[in-house]
Amino acid sequence: MTFRMKGALLACAIAVGMGAGATAAKADQFINILTGGTAGVYYPLGVALAKIYGDKIDGARTQVQSTKGSVENLNLLQAGKGEFALTLGDSLKLAWAGDADAGFKKPLDKIRGIAAVYPNYIQIVASKESGITTLADLKGKSLSVGAPKSGTELNSRAILAAAGMSYSDLGKTEYLPFAESVELIKNRQLDATLQSAGLGVASIRDLASSIPVQVVAVPADMVAKLGAPYIGATIPANTYHGQTADVATVAVVNFAVTHVDVPEETVYQMTKQMFENLPDMVAAHKAAAAIKLENALNGMPVPLHPGAERYYREKGLM
């Protein structure tokens, strides 16, 4: 083989290699999954999804980001700083409308829906020694209402309003994530916490296994006052240590969302792989057992992303 021929072959090999590299680079898709605090439900589900997407979507590179929850997640998506997020339905509705009081300075018009997932249960838990057994007993007591302008904090405002109260009726209002709220109750520095999460959330399991607690009911008449997207729900007996009876409460559906600039194929795969690998998500947290394909479009308050719509058309849901 002549030197000239070797040179030509080498040049060809380099060109092919560069082309392959360009194709691989183009095929790579970064998927940042926006969740919530590590003691909640969003985070373990996000970790499970990151593994599913990394294993099942060609070229996907995944990351899980712990955040303050729904409101931050939606604002980050609008800014293009995430590809997948979990959010409460009421926060999503307010984001689309651009409710400044809820933390959205303008309508978040880039948000697109992927699926309705599982319901968040409003879980109000007090230490037994606080003497709190009803919502009315919260007057004059200290309550953690969630991180400022988080989805949980928006829920707290709504629940107290339905009970004819506001933060001014409380002895003290703390704006803390789940795990920090629990530590304060354990240390007798806080009477109660309101947490909007899936059943069996780690923070409340930790609290109930550490000290005697009271799970406070949200009565049915308040469900009617709250209206959509809130629905009546029950925290089954023995969900938490020492909780021997069912407790009435309200729930609000969570949604998986993305933004308009994420490629159609990526969102199609994110939707498909989520529904086709649900056992892996249930293994991460039992709240995922409530995720059902047949409920995926229920109550979606924003337009669907074309990638998600394509998957549902294939499944005969649209």
Each residue's pLDDT tens digit, 245-270: 999 999 999 999 999 999 999 999 99
Each residue's pLDDT tens digit, 59-91: 999 999 999 999 999 999 999 999 999 999 989
- What number of other Cβ atoms are within 10 A of residue 293's Cβ? 16
Of 188, 185, 189, 175, nearest to 206 by C-alpha is 185
Total residue length of the chain: 318
CATH number for the domain running over 120-252 = 3.40.190.10
What share of the chain in percent tops pLDDT 70?
92
d(CA 132, CA 129): 8
Each residue's pLDDT tens digit, 188-244: 999 999 999 888 899 999 999 999 999 999 999 998 888 878 889 999 999 999 999
- When comparing pLDDT for 144 and 287, which is higher? 144
Each residue's pLDDT tens digit, 147-184: 887 889 989 999 999 999 999 999 999 999 899 999 99
| Lowest mean pLDDT across 137-141, 228-232, 307-311 | 228-232
Longest dimension (CA), the chain: 93
The whole-number pLDDT of residue 151 equals 85
d(CA 86, CA 33): 8
Answer yes or no: same fold for 29-117+254-314 and 120-252.
yes
Arithmetic mean of pLDDT over the chain: 90
The whole-number pLDDT of residue 9 equals 40
The whole-number pLDDT of residue 27 equals 54
Provide the angle, in degrees to the nearest 10, between the axes of the packed helices 42-56 and 264-276. 110
CATH fold of 29-117+254-314 reads D-Maltodextrin-Binding Protein; domain 2 (3.40.190)
Residue pair 285/40 in contact (Cβ under 8 Å)? The answer is no
Give the start-to-end residue ranges of the domains of the chain. 29-117+254-314, 120-252
pTM of the complete model: 0.76
DSSP state of 129: G
